[in-house]
Structure 1
Amino acid sequence: MMKLLITGSLGQVGRCLVEQLNGMTDVDFLALDREELDITDEAAVSAVVTSFSPDVIINAAAHTAVDKAEEEIALSYAINLDGPANLANAADKVGAAMLHISTDYVFAGNKDGEYVESDETGPQGVYGESKLAGEIAVAQACERHIILRTAWVFSELGGNFVKSMLRLAQSRESLGIVADQFGGPTYAGDIASALLHIAVAITKENHTGFGIYHYSGMPHVSWYDFANTIFAEAKQQGVLTTAMTVNPIATADYPTPAKRPANSKLNNDKILTQFGIHPSDWQLALKNLKDYAS
């Protein structure tokens, strides 16, 4: 029976992991939120990992407030660098593998076409810089690691673009949405499924496919396209009774403290080849918008 330790259990991916694991009988898992385990506390991490002695650690904890990160620099690095480093060091000591979630923000976003795992990084803000530092720390501390970069995460839980659009639609007749940033919306439940699939695979003897992988949704779209799809589905499903007018705007028209990558398109070929994992079907994940609106 595989033993699995999950951190960040109340985040979007963490909740999906717990939900899926509750339906599995061949996994012994311990899922902890930040109140139960502060991953920035090296001693606490070491104690939990040593006591539970997992086969795999999945770190779903992160400081993901991109704009706040520009001011909360110390906190961002504590959660996105020190925490993963603590987990990876503890994993290595007990012989566990480490699965760590990262982000498209490690790239500058100025490439033509899709980003592959070997492309040069170039984060444009504190969030991306701290996440990249976390990637490096995990890779250095634990040889048996998987770093999973993803993008534009959404689910029925927590705060995300889909829920924000549905909430704004209750009080607005029109919205201006950025049309010159492109990426792959990714359903958190699909990320959880991918992580569990990988966890099973890497516990097998002689597994060699460790390293960095990209996993996001297809097809790639702009935020404007994504919003239009959400509202069209909401109207069709009866979540919205009136049509929403969506106006395309430029990034320059919607200034934010943190710079966003113009291109967040991640190539999923490597994870498909190595693990047989297909890109997230974000359009399918929007077929139950009543769950997002509740």
Structure 2
Amino acid sequence: MASELSFHVHVAEPTLETGTPPVPHGYPAVASPITSTLITGESDAVLVDTPWTREHVRVIGDWIASFDKRLTAIYITHSHGDHWMGAPALVERFPGAKIYGTPKTVEGILDGKAQREGFWEPRFPGQVSPGEARPEIVPEEGLDLEGNVLKAVELGHTDTDDTSGLWVPSIRLFAAGDAVYNHCHQYLNEYGDGGFEAWHRALDIVEGLNPKYTVAGHKDKNQPDDAGAIERTRAYLNTFRRLDDEGGRSPEEFFDEMLRLFPGYANPKALWRSVVGILGSK
């Protein structure tokens, strides 16, 4: 008989960038807070996504150890480095845990050296967790956790290409990776050329599962992991698209209007990066 599962969410704090141009109104230039979801049974556990700095890994390692479970697997939702670069160090700390992802995620992770050297290390010198990840392709039938299936769900393009989530039907939990954000400004630099429509299709897939709990890849740590985050992600997308279509705003005016419409959202720097990227490309 399958064990009863529980889940627990860890949110790694935002990390200050080095050498990034100023954000209007003095908002700090930081990388967004990262969520990791630990799904636990009686004796074993599976982690979805890892944080990525040395300090993040130390903190989450202690957090995982506090549950006194055997970590058997780490599932990575997509190949953005902030979701997997801590995995090698966690495997070292929890021997026997295997890293899994979809074929496209595995492909992206295996190109991790280029990510580290081209993007992460210049912005966060000395902070990136070391080690080479050697992920395996997740079995088509999913991962087993004490008789419960944990099923990879391919979502396509969300805030980047080839993303996925992990569905746990026994507790109606969907660990959504970057398909869903929760009170955190969204990375929208790739939303053009059909990306907006593709992201909505991904949200349709998530909604079709009828989850009770939805863990966003980036969130305000004080927000609940509820299914309402799906609709909030849609609303943010639609508002950004509407303002973009209306035109006539400077980047600063666009930024200020989004801040007004989504007050208190985490990491305005992510919004500023999106605004500059989208408006600057026109």
* TM-score, with length taken from structure 1: 0.31
* TM-score, with length taken from structure 2: 0.32
